[in-house]
Structure 1
Amino acid sequence: MRSLFKNRAFARLFLGRLITNAGDSVYTIAAMWLAFELGGSSFYTGLAGFLTMLPQAFQFLVGPLVDRWQLRRILVGTQIVQGILVLTIPFAAAMGWLSVGVVLVVMPIVSLLNQFVYPAQQAALPRVVEEEELVEANSAFSFAYQGVDFVFTALGGIVVAAVGAVSLYLIDSVTFAIAALVFVGVRIPPADTNDSDRDEDTKNVTSAMGDYRMELSNGIRYVCGSALVWVLLGSLVVNATIGTALAVLPAYANAYGGPDTYGFILAAITGGMLVGSLSATPLKRFSLAALSVGGFALSGLSWLAAVAVGWLPATVGLFFLAGVPIGATNVIFSAMVQSVVPEDLMGRVSSVLASGSVGAMPLGSLLGGIGGDVFGNAVVMTTAGFGLLFISTCWLTHPLLRNLADVEDLRVERYGLTRSKQPEPSESF
């Protein structure tokens, strides 16, 4: 993996991801806890989760734009605008205008801008590293995401307890500014494409919209025509249940102690995902089916035990264990997609996958907030464990999925994961 960091473009992408994820981790703690504190019930954290996750369900709409626009401009521009937006929270607090309504307006706007970042980074990786380095590159990116989450989520909860949630928004604005400066220096090669008219920007609006619809359709058709669609259906259910858990987690953690406990539980989950992502390279020799069936079974049982045990140290440890298989499979699936999808389709396909995988999370979050007030937070947390077990069962019972090979020996044509390029329009928008 050391050789990856000799690659200047990859090193800058990695550093930028480290910095911006540090801010995002702190922001997540501050935003969800502030919604709970200002609103006073799980309903408001559920509503906050719904509004924040809803843009993720429509990430597929930005895929064609990511494949057309310069990736560096996307990365820099989103960081600058998000940094300005998060400053509205401390400004509103200073002016005496802060309310749960202000938080509920700012959160989804910041999240909407962030939907450009993930597919842009996914599209950039196969352009700056060799194909045989993709698993290691994704593992490093997962470390940047989950490792920073592990540290700053725990620190965020402690800082919220010490100085209040509003102060964390000031920290977050600084991280966005620094990340923008890092991304400015990234040099990302253009995608391999036979389209000689990509840089034409003088076409009329009708033609541009026709191109957009065609390119969006190509991304959706690629996913729906492959085994990826079955993976998404299982993920849809498990992510809905995770959404319910995130909605009640502040109130659930508050029963144990307060915002520091909230931070520790979130840090345990992301810490487990970190360990899983770092173990992805040796695990890639196993079949994808075996990793999914065994991994999510372990994850679901650990989650259920964490809720049932009733002793905080054991709860934190079991949530950590539940996160390990999730981190490993995320890295390996990302590498699989990047190794077989044509570069000029990567933005669309990755955004369709992201939208599909989290599409049920906003509804799950909203229902979780309501369910927490009606049935109790522990009941809602338990449903997430059964959601993880569901995805294991889904892989075990589906005839195509249970025979899915490892990422390096995958016979792509059998699963509809063709390397051939989709027909592209000649117009630009």
Structure 2
Amino acid sequence: MNLLKQNRNFLMLFLGRLVTNIGDSIYYVATMWLVYDLGKSAFYTGLAGFLVLLPKALQFLTGPFIDKWRIKRTLVITQLLQCILILIIPIAYLYDVLTVQTILIVMPIIAFIEEFAYPTQTKALPLILKKEELIKGNSLFAFAYQGVDIIFNASAGILVAVVGATTLYLVDSVTFAIAALFFGLLKISGEQINKTKEKVSLKRAVGDYFGNLSEGFSIVFKSLLWAFLIGSFIANFGIGIAMAILPAFSASIGGVEMYGILLTALSAGSLIGALLGSIVGKYRVGLLAIICFTLGAGCWMIAAIVASPILTPILFGLAWIPIGAVNVLFSGISQSIIPNHILGRVNSVMYSMSIIAMPIGSLLGGYFATRISSQALFTYTGAGVLFIAIVWFLHPQLRKLPSAGKIGRESFNLTFKEEDIQRSEGVS
């Protein structure tokens, strides 16, 4: 908490993230349930999940822009755009023209805008925190993300039942406006911004963009970072299926309240894990990842098998504790070993290549749910997390990774130009 008291910039960034996550939490629960309620089929929630997750899979396209644009301006504009767009749904409801199709159009647009906002927040951290503060900073960011979800996922489920989903969109619009205000108070120094007044031709601009994009792919696939993607791809395919069928699975053991409770359990587990992230960083990362993902998969599958209103949320929450811990650890490690001015393109490539399986899983999950019980599908998806542990166990370099403090660029076979390293050290 000292970071929040001593670093005003981090406090503004934290508060902005906190408020925008409140809007995201309410929006996601309200939207997915509204789609399920209007469409009366898990197929529509699968399609909605596909459309929301597809922009995440395309995040690699945003990387060069994130590296080029000013952080403060990007954060403020993205929040204001979401503030305006989200009002379309309650307005459509007011004029009695709200349909599933309307929601399915608005959702991916808002999701695409988010793919500029969250990576930009991540890029800002190394500019306002010291290297040794990054894991703690990421833990607090995860707290802002998951802590808000704990409160508002559960309450959103109750509020949907009491006041209706469309009313909550008005609240969302206000939260995004407040987030824009907090981000507007940021003062970030050390950004590598090209201030030249030279007019650049369209051909050159396009060439520069694809050159930066290619550099991001090159760094990932010429280093050990690519090995992360194998397990993540399979796991995210399973998670995509799980998120698509979660409303139907929740309905089978409770209803909209249970949907909120299960999402809350997920967030609570991730939050506890995130808070443990800085503690577990002293252990060998390779061994830790294998153990954590194995435990997470086991709890997940048992949660699905018992299908109990009491035991399922508890076990599902426990499954996300080890997963949340290693995710925070990985974020801090990547921020410390990759030069900041290329962090956006590298992280976006990593994220996109691992997340691309989620929209596919979501779409297929909605289809499979019309033929297979949601409980059986939910059980199978837990095995996807286990696959990550198997990949790490079978890959000798991943298995032997040391503790976070001892991991350097050489641990991942990362090589950068000398000028990249110097520029990175100049803004740390």
TM-score normalised according to structure 2 size = 0.96
Deviations 1:261-288 (A, max 9, x none): 1000010011100000001111100111
Is 1:178 aligned to residue 178 of structure 2?
Answer: yes
| Residue identity (%) | 45
Whether the aligned pair in 1 keeps the contact of 2:339 and 2:420 (CA below 8 Å) is no
Equivalent position amino acid for 1:378 in 2:
Q
Is 1:409 aligned to residue 403 of structure 2?
Answer: no
The residue that corresponds to 1:66 in the other structure is 66
Q: CA deviation at 1:216?
A: 1.0
Whether the aligned pair in 2 keeps the contact of 1:122 and 1:350 (CA below 8 Å) is no
The residue that corresponds to 2:54 in the other structure is 54
Give the gaps of 5 or more residues in structure 2. Answer: 422-428
Equivalent position amino acid for 1:302 in 2:
C
The residue that corresponds to 1:243 in the other structure is 240
CA distance 1:259–1:341, shift in 2 (3 Å): same
Counterpart Cα distance in 2 of 1:138 and 1:78: 21
Q: CA deviation at 1:422?
A: 7.2
Deviations 1:299-356 (A, max 9, x none): 0000011011132111110011001011111110000000010011011111112212
Counterpart Cα distance in 1 of 2:207 and 2:85: 33
Deviations 1:339-390 (A, max 9, x none): 0100110111111122122110000000000011111111211121100111
The residue that corresponds to 2:359 in the other structure is 362
CA distance 1:87–1:132, shift in 2 (3 Å): same
The residue that corresponds to 2:424 in the other structure is none
The residue that corresponds to 2:426 in the other structure is none
Is 1:187 aligned to residue 184 of structure 2?
Answer: no
The residue that corresponds to 1:121 in the other structure is 121
Equivalent position amino acid for 1:17 in 2:
R
CA distance 1:155–1:422, shift in 2 (3 Å): farther
| Residue of 214, 217, 222 corresponding to 1:225 | 222
Is 1:372 aligned to residue 369 of structure 2?
Answer: yes
The residue that corresponds to 1:388 in the other structure is 385
Equivalent position amino acid for 1:347 in 2:
G
Whether the aligned pair in 2 keeps the contact of 1:4 and 1:137 (CA below 8 Å) is no
Deviations 1:93-150 (A, max 9, x none): 0001001000100000000000001210111000000001000000000000011111
Deviations 1:173-210 (A, max 9, x none): 010000001110111123358xxx55446211111111
Is 1:332 aligned to residue 325 of structure 2?
Answer: no
Counterpart Cα distance in 2 of 1:422 and 1:30: 48
Deviations 1:232-271 (A, max 9, x none): 1110110110000000100110112211110000100111
**Runs of 4+ residues over 6 Å off in structure 1:** none
Q: CA deviation at 1:17?
A: 0.3
For 1:37-52, what aligned pairs fall within 5 Å after superposition?
37-52=37-52
3-state SS of paired residue (2:310): helix
Deviations 1:382-403 (A, max 9, x none): 1211001111111111122111
The residue that corresponds to 1:299 in the other structure is 296
The residue that corresponds to 1:18 in the other structure is 18
Equivalent position amino acid for 1:402 in 2:
R
Counterpart Cα distance in 2 of 1:146 and 1:120: 19
Equivalent position amino acid for 1:356 in 2:
M
Is 1:155 aligned to residue 155 of structure 2?
Answer: yes
Equivalent position amino acid for 1:374 in 2:
R
The residue that corresponds to 1:96 in the other structure is 96
Counterpart Cα distance in 2 of 1:175 and 1:333: 29
Whether the aligned pair in 2 keeps the contact of 1:220 and 1:352 (CA below 8 Å) is yes
Counterpart Cα distance in 1 of 2:166 and 2:394: 48
Aligned length: 421
Equivalent position amino acid for 1:256 in 2:
I
Counterpart Cα distance in 2 of 1:5 and 1:287: 31
Counterpart Cα distance in 2 of 1:419 and 1:2: 33
Whether the aligned pair in 2 keeps the contact of 1:4 and 1:129 (CA below 8 Å) is no
Whether the aligned pair in 1 keeps the contact of 2:254 and 2:309 (CA below 8 Å) is no
Give the gaps of 5 or more residues in structure 1. Answer: 425-429
The residue that corresponds to 1:427 in the other structure is none
Counterpart Cα distance in 2 of 1:167 and 1:419: 50
Whether the aligned pair in 2 keeps the contact of 1:341 and 1:418 (CA below 8 Å) is no
3-state SS of paired residue (2:200): coil
